Chain A
């Protein structure tokens, strides 16, 4: 089937993740999208529930966490009005969905590859690990604020080398930054590949260390966007020459030395 579709799909399941111990902040949402293949890890979709009618206009962008013959899985963190209402979706609800959108993370099967996730930034790495031909070459480092059960961590820790640091207090941030530097240095030394997804300050830190240590790194940007197709120009970021480029179509993945954060 052709890629890039816009269609109405059905919500199959909305499951809070880690709710037993924490307030319900993370959700796994399964959408019906049979026979959807050909997407690449790092790409995203735009999702707009029918129930929003006209009170909220924009669809919301979500990394594709996983997709198979039965449907599409997204991880959603409640951070604003849109994601809070996404969490109230129920099986059977209809949403408009278009995608897969944007470019994707580099895959170098035989290269030692470090996946750096800040919180919900772990979402696209589930698909990356599932689709990688040699997951033994992968290591995931997760910097997280909530217990591990709030993230799709078990799905990854069963398959790749995983290391984690909890940010429970401001002092932990220094430990996380030090750990990031240490890991990036390790992968720079072995000419590895570094892929990062998370909040902008996390991306900026990765970018800084990658430049300092001479590492090959890609960062995934999450700018606010209205259309997802390159038309509204609301999501642009300055590239290395200062030109504004659309994150939705020229990204969301950028080589760290080719974009200004």
Chain B
């Protein structure tokens, strides 16, 4: 079965991407599988200047999920371009840069730097990080800001596909999806983490120093499916599904509701070789349930009349 997918100007050999923040630069996972088996790698969030991120503790395990408040720790775009990107197999797997900035102008500047790099296949705009005080989710909860940031990136993207990553922490995901589309997004990716919290009754402290953190993992999959379902119906641009995918069946659920591809996130922590075999498993499962092709299966959810 042909697992190749093309959408929004992005061409992937299969619909499995790895989600930003869960796969490092990609190189960290190279000892555990062939990166070229992936459809795409979305690198850890990149900012113009290096960021140290939030204080410890930054992560906590919760039932079927985890909380994180890393705070976009990264060495800055110059380091990424100079040291990391050349080491990635970008001729054989789509490398997507995930952009983080504090205002639209800075997003545009960052997009300009990355758009000039041959090894970057697309730009993912992070308007949805719940773990930083400046920017982050403040953009993602305001449709006007989503449109403004998207437009700023699109203008400097040099024709590369612009993917906008949406937050579920909003009243109406469809409104945000339309705002990104209006701003010129080629692709939407959703969802980012849900704002969550964990506390310790013994020492009476939050389990994550940032107090509020982002919840990910299988616990959020129903929310993610709902958001993808609503976004697919709200806009005409392709959607990438993210949230709690921990099996081929999970991934195909997102395809069924209309996603063109998926991003695997927290499951990369279950074991570091998780993502590498997922496309093969999806292909076998599609055949096993009698689907004739990925295209035929996509969006074929039967809704009650």
- Select from chain B the residue with minimum beta-carbon distance to A228: B272
| CA gap between A233 and B217 in the complex, in Å | 16
Majority secondary structure of chain A interface residues (helix, strand, loop or mixed): loop
Query: Is B57 a contact partner of A48 (Cβ separation < 8 A)?
Result: no
For chain A, residues 202 to 238, give those with C-beta under 8 angstroms from any C-beta of chain B: 223-234, 236-237
Contact of A232 among B52, B68, B217, B273 (CB under 8 A): B68
| A217-261 vs B, Cβ < 8 Å mask (1 yes, 0 no) | 000000111111111111011000011100001000000000000
Q: Please tell me the number of chain A residues within 8 Å of chain B, measured between CB atoms.
A: 30
| CA gap between A231 and B19 in the complex, in Å | 11
Indicate if A155 sits at the interface (CB-CB under 8 A): no
Contact of B28 among A55, A57, A58, A229 (CB under 8 A): A229
Which segment, of B58-66, B91-99, B121-129, faces chain A? Answer: B58-66
Indicate if B169 sits at the interface (CB-CB under 8 A): no
Query: Is B22 a contact partner of A232 (Cβ separation < 8 A)?
Result: yes
* A-side contacts of B188, CB under 8 Å: none
Query: Is B70 a contact partner of A58 (Cβ separation < 8 A)?
Result: no
Contact of A57 among B23, B52, B266 (CB under 8 A): B266
Query: Is A227 a contact partner of B268 (Cβ separation < 8 A)?
Result: yes
- Select from chain B the residue with minimum beta-carbon distance to A4: B31
Indicate if B218 sits at the interface (CB-CB under 8 A): yes
Q: Please tell me the number of chain B residues within 8 Å of chain A, measured between CB atoms.
A: 34
Query: Is A48 a contact partner of B271 (Cβ separation < 8 A)?
Result: yes
Indicate if B24 sits at the interface (CB-CB under 8 A): yes
| A93-107 vs B, Cβ < 8 Å mask (1 yes, 0 no) | 000101000000000
For chain B, residues 245 to 277, give those with C-beta under 8 angstroms from any C-beta of chain A: 246, 266, 268-273
- Select from chain A the residue with minimum beta-carbon distance to B53: A244
* A-side contacts of B246, CB under 8 Å: 54
Query: Is B52 a contact partner of A233 (Cβ separation < 8 A)?
Result: no
Query: Is A230 a contact partner of B24 (Cβ separation < 8 A)?
Result: yes
| CA gap between A82 and B66 in the complex, in Å | 14
Distance of B112 from chain A, by nearest CB (Å):
26
Query: Is A233 a contact partner of B28 (Cβ separation < 8 A)?
Result: no
Indicate if A6 sits at the interface (CB-CB under 8 A): yes
Indicate if A120 sits at the interface (CB-CB under 8 A): no
Query: Is B270 a contact partner of A233 (Cβ separation < 8 A)?
Result: no
| CA gap between A154 and B249 in the complex, in Å | 50
Query: Is A231 a contact partner of B268 (Cβ separation < 8 A)?
Result: yes
| CA gap between A96 and B63 in the complex, in Å | 19
- Select from chain B the residue with minimum beta-carbon distance to A225: B59
| CA gap between A14 and B141 in the complex, in Å | 51
Query: Is B70 a contact partner of A56 (Cβ separation < 8 A)?
Result: no
Binding site for A on B (CB under 8 A): 21-24, 28-29, 31-32, 44, 52-53, 56-61, 63-66, 68, 70, 73, 217-218, 246, 266, 268-273
What 4 pairs across the A-B complex have the smallest Cβ distances?
A231-B24, A234-B59, A231-B28, A226-B269
